[in-house]
Amino acid sequence: MIFVTVGTQLPFDRLIRAVDDWAALNSQIEVFAQIGPARYTPKHFASTAFLSPGDVAKYFARTELVVGHAGMGTIMASLTVRVPIIAVPRRQAMREHRSDHQLTTAKWLQEELELNVVMDMADLPALLDRRQELKPGREIGNFAKPQLLSVLRQFVESEDDEPSAMYGIAAWTSGMRKMLQNQPMRSSRKPRPPETY
């Protein structure tokens, strides 16, 4: 079974329509979707607007593949239960989200955790056809790294009784940058500065 989920905040009709088109040609494959407040209703598989957290967990437990927006809840759930995911970032230009943070997140997760990411919806059908070859991404631990905890602890315990938001962001960014510079690179690519919006 393929479980499609788009979260609860915004419609992601472009993704639902793409999976529906693929499902029309692959009727032997069971697909179920949580489609959120969608304007488009799939014709070739069952769906519901919303699911309880318990029901979402049940679908994650029985699916062979998750297809979803590049939301952190969906991604973390798939990494935790070790189910392959195809993450499709929402695009601000298509009015699918308020910013392109999912695009940036998906690029990073593709490089660092080897997630399956679709940037161009035209690539989704081929990846769905190869679903049995897909891996669940690099395994993550259950706890934060000591370096991250140290940076957060420094921020929380700072001498400044009323740190401004900008001070907090600058301190956190500086600490994270130091932490990442001390990490061995997982790819042959050189680190690049963070993208801005």
**Residue by residue, what is the 3-state secondary structure of the chain?**
CEEEECCCCCCCHHHHHHHHHHHHHCCCCCEEEECCCCCCCCCCCEEECCCCHHHHHHHHHHCCEEEEECCHHHHHHHHHHCCCEEEECCCHHHCCCCCCHHHHHHHHHHHHHCCEECCCHHHHHHHHHCHHHCCCCCCCCCCCCHHHHHHHHHHHCCCCCCCCHHHHHHHHHHHHHHHHHCCCCCCCCCCCCCCCC
Cα–Cα distance between 30 and 21 in angstroms, integer?
Answer: 14
48 and 101 inside one domain: yes
Tell whether 138 is covered by a domain.
Answer: no
Indicate the residue among 133, 153, 176 that finishes a domain.
133
193 and 114 inside one domain: no
Which of residues 68 and 9 earns the better pLDDT score?
A: 68
Indicate the residue among 133, 151, 167 that finishes a domain.
133
115 and 175 inside one domain: no
Q: What residues make up the domain containing 43?
A: 2-133
Q: What is the pLDDT of residue 150?
A: 82
Cα–Cα distance between 94 and 134 in angstroms, integer?
Answer: 28
188 and 119 inside one domain: no
Q: What is the pLDDT of residue 157?
A: 77
Indicate the residue among 105, 133, 161 that finishes a domain.
133
Tell whether 187 is covered by a domain.
Answer: yes
Contact predicate 128/1, CB 8 Å: no
Contact predicate 195/178, CB 8 Å: no
Record the tokens describing residue 48, joined without a space.
């519901």
Mean pLDDT lowest for which of 7-21, 88-102, 122-136, 167-181? 167-181
What whole-number percentage of the chain has pLDDT above 90? 46
Give one word for 92, left, alpha or beta, with left for phi > 0 and alpha for psi -120 to 50: alpha
Contact predicate 34/51, CB 8 Å: yes
pLDDT, mean of residues 152-159: 76
Cα–Cα distance between 22 and 139 in angstroms, integer?
Answer: 29
Give one word for 17, left, alpha or beta, with left for phi > 0 and alpha for psi -120 to 50: alpha
Whether 100 has a pLDDT exceeding 80, the answer reads: no
6 and 89 inside one domain: yes
- Cβ-in-10-Å burial (0-12, 13-18, 19+) of 96 comes to buried
107 and 153 inside one domain: no
Whether 12 has a pLDDT exceeding 80, the answer reads: yes
